[in-house]
Amino acid sequence: MRWLLSFLFLGLLGVAQALSASGNRLLVVLEELDDKSKYSKYFGDLEGRGFQITYESPKSESVGLFTLGERAYEHLLILPSKSKGLGPNLTPKILLEFINKGGNILLTLSAITPTPTALVSLLLELDIHLPTERNALVVDHFNYDTLSASEKHDVVLLPRPDTIRPGVKNFFKGDGKGGEVIAFPRGVGQSLGNTSPLLTPVLRAPRTAYSYNPKDEAESLEDVFAAGPQLSLVTTMQARNSARFTVVGSAEMLEDGWFTGEVKRSVGMGGVGTDAKKVKTCNQAFAKEITGWAFQEIGVLKVGKIEHRLNEGVRSNITNPKIYRVKNDVEYSIELSEWSWDKWVPFTPVAEDVVQLEFSMLSPFHRLDLAASGTTTNSTVFTTSFKLPDQHGIFNFKVNYKRPFLTNVEEKNTVTVRHFAHDEYPRSWVISGAWPWIAGIAATITGWLGFVALWLWSKPVPLKLTTSGKKIQ
């Protein structure tokens, strides 16, 4: 009976975790609860993926991210609100604490409702800069939707984003066929600080786009906040604890209208799109990917078994010994899985990327590429063999795998590396330079035995005298 119960319990656990690697409690903060209907498809998708959504207004007394000091939700979605701040329960400090405790935040902005100053200061702390004008808007006179924004050009149409740089996994390219169009209506562009490796833009503005203040529409633009790909439309930040913070520049792109809407692109640079047809936006699929990433449904890594062992010709059966000797040949393997929507799958790094092992004492002595040596149903085993350095001390096998869009893997296994014992050095006959000396000893011994025999048993030879009287034998 008990085993049945525990089985049931396990099953329930499985169901409860079958959507995000971190949990399924989602708090949606939106000003007017009636606005919910505008995003019905988006919320429907989220519920369909198993999220338990709680809707709260920032003005509500009951809204709180923590209960008894623990996170009450795993995920937070903030939709634009007109008020200046988000109230005493959602101050930047509380939001940062939520991230520090591992909570994920998806923040949406809108050019129609100015971003609350509290959120602007929170973004500033993360080195994400918003235009100083509170109504700033992204326009592109080359890539706009001619159906809905033929005059204002403020519905920017973009293709699916490319990989940011080689060696970074692209979770947002859809099926990769191309030709899909993302509509970005009336959004706020962000410019990112260059120093933080935690920030990664997902969707960058086209070359010809720029951000401007609609109040100065009559005048020509001379002071540009940011233009072209320097303007990030969807930005991600993954904290060191792998909590995710995502900024979507246009909340409107998540609305039902844009999930199903049709758009027709304008004539772009070099005459592209002169004979553009009406196409359906791929906002729904893109929103799923962005939200999935933000709420840790994709790109979450898990470490399985870590094994290291002696492998000097024959693989030792003793795994993870505490001590090795200098110059030992050692094999190391680590098992990695990746969470993909609802299951763990074997993790494979993209081309030009590789999982690396460091063997370090203070600083790495060896940094080696790990090669995939096998896969199980839900993990890949990465292995390498190497000779330990010629230095004794306390060393770490360290896998420090930090990549944009993937949760951080930092695994450290400490071992002692001892020096040679007195009888472990190579013997003198192995050293060719010692051969004359060994031959010398052999010659001395033979000579000594011969001398002893002569001393004991030699018979004197009678002396002969030469004619000159000298003695000869």
Partner 1 sequence: MRFFSSSVFSSVLLVAAGVAEAASSWNFDEAIISVQSKGAGNGLKDKLSDHVPLAKPVTFGPTDALKIVLTATEGGKAKRPHQAFLLLRDQDTGLEATLPFSVKETGKGKVDFTQKDLPPQLLTSSQPLRATLLIASFGPSQAFSNHVFDLDVQTDPSAPLPPYEKPLRYGKLAEIHHIFKADAKSGPKIFSLFFALAVLATVPILFGAWAYLGANVDHLAKATKTAPIAHTLFFGAIATMEGIFFMYYTSWNLFQTLPVAGVVGLVAFLSGSKALSEVQSRRLAGER
Within 339-398, the residues that bind partner 1 by CB under 8 A are 352-354, 356, 358, 364-369, 389-391
Closest to partner 1 by CB, 84 or 207: 207
* 7 vs 425 by CB, closer to partner 1: 425
- Token pair in block for residue 366: 């060896």
Closest approach of partner 1 to the CB of residue 325, in Å: 15
Q: Among 254, 235, 286, 294, which residue's Cα sits nearest to residue 20?
A: 294
Question: Could you tell me the smallest distance in angstroms from the CB atom of residue 408 to partner 1?
Answer: 9
Report the residue number, 169 or 288, with the smaller CB distance to partner 1.
169
Site for partner 1 in 188-247 (CB under 8 A): 194-195, 197, 207-208, 210, 212, 217, 220-224, 227-230
Q: Is 466 buried (19+), middle (13-18) or exposed (0-12) by CB count in 10 A? A: exposed
Binder to partner 1 among 132, 458, 467, 468 (CB under 8 A)? 458
How many CA atoms lie within 13 Å of 429's alpha carbon, on the beta-carbon side? 3
Query: Least CB distance from residue 445 to partner 1, whole Å?
Result: 5
DSSP string, 253-269: GGSHHHHH-EE-B---G
- Residues whose CB falls within 8 Å of the CB of residue 313, separated by 6 or more in sequence, listed in order: 329
Nearer to partner 1, 71 or 403 (CB): 403
Produce one character per residue of 403-433: b if its CB has 16 or more CB atoms within 10 Å, e if not. Answer: bbbbbebeeeeebebeeeeeeeeeeeeeeee
User: Segment near partner 1 (CB under 8 A), from 112-120, 175-183, 255-263, 453-461?
Assistant: 453-461
Helix (H) or strand (E) holding 366: strand 363-369
Q: Taking the complex as a whole, how short is the minimal distance between the CB of residue 216 and partner 1, in angstroms? A: 9
Q: Which is nearer to partner 1, 151 or 175 (CB)?
A: 151
Q: Which two tokens stand for residue 92?
A: 């930047």
236-295 residues in contact with partner 1 (CB under 8 A) are: 266-267, 269-271, 274
> Helices 283-294 and 40-48, interaxial angle, to 10°?
50
Distance CA 471, CA 361 (A): 77
Nearer to partner 1, 68 or 218 (CB): 218
* Separation between Cα atoms, residue 99 and residue 243, nearest integer Å: 6
Q: Look-up: residue for tokens 């000797």?
A: 325
Name the minimum Å distance from CB 444 to partner 1. 9
- Based on the shown chain and the rule CB under 8 A, indicate whether residue 176 belongs to the binding site for partner 1: no
Asked if residue 450 binds partner 1 (CB under 8 A), the reply is: yes
Window 16 to 55, contacts with partner 1 (CB under 8 A): none
CA dist 344 and 347 (Å) reads 9
- Closest to partner 1 by CB, 124 vs 439, is 439
425 is an interface residue for partner 1 by CB under 8 A: no
Q: Which two tokens stand for residue 278?
A: 């009406």
Query: CB of residue 197 vs partner 1: minimum separation in angstroms?
Result: 5
Tokens of 296: 């840790």
Joined together, the tokens standing for residue 151 give 């005059």
Least distance (Å) from partner 1 to the CB of residue 284? 29
Residue 183 φ/ψ, nearest 5 degrees: -95, 130
Question: Binding string to partner 1 for residues 117 to 156, with x set by CB under 8 A, is what?
Answer: ----------------------x-xx-------xxxx---
